[in-house]
Structure 1
Amino acid sequence: MGPNSHTRGVPLPVSTPPLNPVRGPRGLPPLGHLFAFGKDPLGFLTRLRDDFGDAVTWSLGPRRSLFISHPGHIRELLAAREDTYEILEIGWAFRQITGQSVILSKGDDWRRKRSLVQPTVRPRQVRSYADAMVECAGAAADGWRDGGRIDVRREMALITQRIVLRTLFGNDLGQQTDALGDAMDVAEQAVGAELRGIGLFLPAWVRTPSRRRLLAAVATIDGEVHRLIGERRDRTGAVGDPAHAAEERDDLLTRLLAARDEEGRPLSPKEVRNEAVTLWAAGHETTSTALTWAFHLLARAPEARARLEAELQEVLAGRPPAIDDYERLTWTQQIIKEAMRLYPPVWLIPAVAREGATLGGTRIPAGTIVWCSTWTTHRDPRWFPEPDRFRPERWDADAPDVVPDHAWYPFGGGPRTCLGARFAQVEAALVLATLAQRFHLDLPDAEVPPRAGLLLQPATPLHATLRGVNRQPAPAG
């Protein structure tokens, strides 16, 4: 999967048109469009695109902002060098979770950390994690019963959490698993609330109730992560050779501890904590969100679900999936890809223009926050006919409508493309295949509104009735 998916071939190159920004709706000094954005960010950004075009100026508080919607401009923005655009630090709450990890680092510090973290999630390493993905999903399905009821989002979160804890730390954390999951939920909610409200502009020393809850959650996470780091460092030290330890115990934490830069320097304990927690947060929440939306969409698309069942029977013939099946599960991949088009977990990407920055040949004033949104681009009728419909067949190899480059970009793009993209795509497909092979998740045939926080989550709970794949649905009424 990804922009160069085998299911579609190479994406259609798209030229970058001249950038001609127009002024957006009038804001309210000094907060600008903060209230309108905070109340309904998805609707606000969609209106900017529909009412004003592909380049619209607006303001989030006192900061000048530019919202872009054309794939050509988005590609140029995401591919830009760091001396042209830099990352936007999106608030105090987000930093409490990730620290100065690779996701927030800049310049030489970013290049060093990326070179150390990237090898832990390369395709060869992801292959070694596939069995854990299938086993965790299978264990969850073992506890399901025909006719039972589940909270879909919670079940997907429990599965992906167990996967990331097992692949990151090398084991299931037992009783601590639930406590750590609850702490990460609190942290995600705090970041989302800050992003949509006045908290984005509060100084660090202000301690609101939400911030106090966040600090308590981060303390829970840090306590366990630092304990695990200490145990693993002791074990690695006993072995003597970090590289040998990484081969002996093939998990992400051991590999982070064994990583060395060009000068032979390891990551510090604090840096290991930051990268481990960032990988955990990204690997857990984004994939569980994508799976939740995928099951919601499948429940309302019986033809797509039937085609999925046929593919699983043909490829797997009743056995659990394995990594070598991944490339053959093309329809399974297309379901995940289409779910991430309609409901991209990461729905907003900002960058800050530096002196000399340009887009589409137009100079962007230094300090301007340039925003692009996967939500609005993925639902643009210019690139996706019937943009609001769930149509996995649009990703068929012979589909007539070729998607332009960077019209689909749920993992970002350019040098800061999500490091865990391959992990997330393989995980989502294998978990979906494992669960759908055994159960249908029947949900009410009703639209579920999304809630735009740190990630794009369902605004209401999704309670599904479980039905064994070989059992027919009960008559209506």
Structure 2
Amino acid sequence: MTTHAGPPADAEAREADGRRRVPGPRGVPVLGNMPEFGKDPLAFFEQLRGRGDFVRWRFGPSEMLFVAHPETVGELLTEVERTFDQPDLGIAVRTLLGDGVVVAKGADWRRKRSLVQPSVRPRQVKSYAATMAECAVALAERWTDGQRVDVKREMTGLTQLIAVRTIFGTDTAADVEAIGQAMDVAQREIGDEFSGLGGILPDWVPTRGRARIKRAVAVIDNEVARVVARHRGGDTERPDLLSRLLAARDETGAPLSDREIRDETVTLYVGGHETTSSTLLWAWYLLAHNPRVADALGEELDRVLGDRDPGFDDFTELAYTQAVVKETLRLYPAIWLTTAIAKEGATLGGAPVRPGTRVWSSQWATHRDGRWYRDPLEFRPERWLAQADGTPAEDIPEYAWFPFGGGPRVCLGTRFAMVEAVLVLAVIARRFRLDLDPGEIRPVPSLTLQPDREVLATVRKR
């Protein structure tokens, strides 16, 4: 369906809080801006941001609207489910996530959110914290001074193990390896589908990438079904997320169906593993290139923890460690793009948005905007700390930082991801530094931001 960039020209020229809709890059016939977008989506959205806060562009035959100002991003995110609708994210995402809470809409979304949310509330996250720390300790105890490691592989394996243990309550090698490998394939194919011609091809058109993701999802489905079968009829008081989902009941007393259990389990796995793995990878990359920050992190860990490993109760005391994670998510947000479709009555910045318009915002572009951050490309966790008088070090507007989205559809696993990243970083950074091999590593946008090559490092004992 062809959408439109906004209201008619006379309304389009209207100022909206000083920000005006402007045309984006010219593009090419039929494909519009798809070649630029597909070549480098991150640079493309930075280019749009440089043109203005309301920018029109074309994805194939359809006209789109890009917004970059935090106030407008906040409007967009908080109005989803009211005047903006969750869009269809494409056959690749649907194949992986099914009708899980991330892709569900309307009443179906509200029901599923009410059933899933209790499993990731602070009390439950506290019960998972010990598993997070234990898995990180086990990894750290395998490392030795001078050892060479593949950082991506190590962080991926660690977060996969944490996800499998907290979600499924099991950590057999088969579960971790089979699900992890299939998820890697699914993530890669989703990225290729999204930025390539698959983004405009009808669902029924077969492609090699779509075939690969179907095969990967078949493996995931088989593993999930096997674990669910083991849980059925078992102890419903088990602390894992799957047991809580199996015990959940909606307002009518109905449980989640087997298909819904599968969809929410996979959604939680992606949220609990893929995003945290990406965040930890980029945190090590940034720490290796910023010795001052690594020193400050080590000082806090020595002061707060001494010679012990962290637990959930240490989370609030590890303020600088949290700031390192927040600053990593600013520069390398795991989720780098959000989108919604305007419904009747939608407005942005005081101007109407025509129903059917697809509106995009990019964490990558807004997080690196010099209007909201001093020295926006500098890795400076101190910007997130309070000063001695309690005021923030930098006056950062709301929605200038939104790595977990926002509004009613904010990521349910936000606290889980933050606690996991902080505890894992604390466990390992208390013992080691990682000296990365020289050379720039560029982010490749797929389901999350991934490195464009191997991230190799030498482990150095502190």
TM-score (norm 1): 0.91
| 1:19 to partner: Cα distance | 4.9
Q: Does 1:188 align with 2:187?
A: yes
| 1:62-115 superposed Cα distances (whole Å, 9 cap, x missing partner) | 222100010000001100052311112221111011000111111111100000
Aligned to 1:415: 408
Aligned to 2:341: 352
Structure-2 separation of matches of 1:17 and 1:138? 51
Aligned to 2:428: 435
Q: 2:329 aligns with which of 330, 340, 358?
A: 340
| 1:61 to partner: Cα distance | 1.4
Q: Does 1:383 align with 2:372?
A: yes
8 Å Cα contact 1:22/1:55 also seen in 2: yes
Residues 81, 33 of structure 1: alpha-carbon distance in 2 compared, 3 angstrom cutoff:
closer
Structure-2 separation of matches of 1:345 and 1:207? 29
Structure-2 separation of matches of 1:226 and 1:263? 25
**Which range moved further: 136-145 or 24-33?**
24-33
Structure-2 separation of matches of 1:230 and 1:126? 25
Structure-1 separation of matches of 2:413 and 2:430? 26
| 1:18 to partner: Cα distance | 5.3
The letter for the 2-side match of 1:428 is A
Structure-2 separation of matches of 1:227 and 1:156? 26
8 Å Cα contact 2:330/2:367 also seen in 1: yes
| 1:453 to partner: Cα distance | 1.4
8 Å Cα contact 2:384/2:393 also seen in 1: no
Q: 1:306 aligns with which of 295, 299, 319?
A: 295
| 1:321 to partner: Cα distance | 0.6
SS in 2 for 1:235: coil
| 1:256-291 superposed Cα distances (whole Å, 9 cap, x missing partner) | 010011111110000010000000011101001000
| 1:227 to partner: Cα distance | 1.1
Structure-to-structure mapping, 1:286-325, within 5 angstroms? 286-325=275-314
Structure-to-structure mapping, 1:214-253, within 5 angstroms? 214-235=213-234, 245=236, 248-253=237-242
Aligned to 2:25: 25
**Which range moved further: 199-208 or 164-173?**
199-208
Structure-2 separation of matches of 1:294 and 1:81? 31
8 Å Cα contact 1:90/1:200 also seen in 2: no
Structure-2 separation of matches of 1:18 and 1:411? 27
Q: 1:451 aligns with which of 432, 444, 449?
A: 444
8 Å Cα contact 1:449/1:459 also seen in 2: yes
8 Å Cα contact 1:20/1:362 also seen in 2: no
The letter for the 2-side match of 1:425 is M
Structure-1 separation of matches of 2:368 and 2:360? 16
SS in 2 for 1:72: helix
Aligned to 2:69: 70
Structure-2 separation of matches of 1:234 and 1:94? 31
Residues 185, 64 of structure 1: alpha-carbon distance in 2 compared, 3 angstrom cutoff:
same
Structure-2 separation of matches of 1:344 and 1:83? 26
Structure-2 separation of matches of 1:139 and 1:206? 46
The letter for the 2-side match of 1:306 is D
| 1:459 to partner: Cα distance | 1.2
Runs of 4+ in 1 over 3 A off after TM superposition: none
Structure-2 separation of matches of 1:105 and 1:23? 32
| 1:404 to partner: Cα distance | 0.5
Structure-1 separation of matches of 2:348 and 2:60? 23
Structure-1 separation of matches of 2:304 and 2:394? 27
Structure-1 separation of matches of 2:84 and 2:129? 36
8 Å Cα contact 2:382/2:393 also seen in 1: no
8 Å Cα contact 2:27/2:58 also seen in 1: yes
| 1:463 to partner: Cα distance | 0.2
SS in 1 for 2:249: coil
How many residues get paired?
A: 443
Aligned to 1:42: 42
| 1:360 to partner: Cα distance | 1.0
Structure-to-structure mapping, 1:277-292, within 5 angstroms? 277-292=266-281
**Which residues of structure 1 form unaligned runs of 5+?**
1-15, 237-244, 470-477
SS in 2 for 1:67: strand
Structure-2 separation of matches of 1:464 and 1:87? 41
Structure-2 separation of matches of 1:145 and 1:216? 38
Structure-2 separation of matches of 1:336 and 1:447? 20
Structure-to-structure mapping, 1:199-218, within 5 angstroms? 199-218=198-217
Aligned to 1:363: 352
| 1:175 to partner: Cα distance | 2.5
Residues 420, 315 of structure 1: alpha-carbon distance in 2 compared, 3 angstrom cutoff:
same
Structure-2 separation of matches of 1:351 and 1:18? 23
| 1:454 to partner: Cα distance | 1.6
Structure-2 separation of matches of 1:320 and 1:49? 43
| 1:433-469 superposed Cα distances (whole Å, 9 cap, x missing partner) | 0011111111135332111112111112110100111
SS in 1 for 2:143: coil
SS in 1 for 2:183: helix
Structure-2 separation of matches of 1:233 and 1:201? 41
Aligned to 1:161: 160
**Which range moved further: 28-37 or 65-74?**
28-37
SS in 2 for 1:234: coil
**Which range moved further: 54-63 or 206-215?**
206-215
SS in 2 for 1:140: helix
The letter for the 1-side match of 2:317 is R
8 Å Cα contact 1:351/1:370 also seen in 2: yes
**Which residues of structure 2 form unaligned runs of 5+?**
1-15
8 Å Cα contact 1:63/1:368 also seen in 2: no
Computed over aligned residues only, the root mean square deviation of the Cα atoms, in angstroms, reads 1.2
Aligned to 2:8: none
The letter for the 2-side match of 1:334 is A
The letter for the 1-side match of 2:380 is R
| 1:387 to partner: Cα distance | 0.5
| 1:393-420 superposed Cα distances (whole Å, 9 cap, x missing partner) | 1112015421110000100000000000
8 Å Cα contact 2:80/2:407 also seen in 1: no
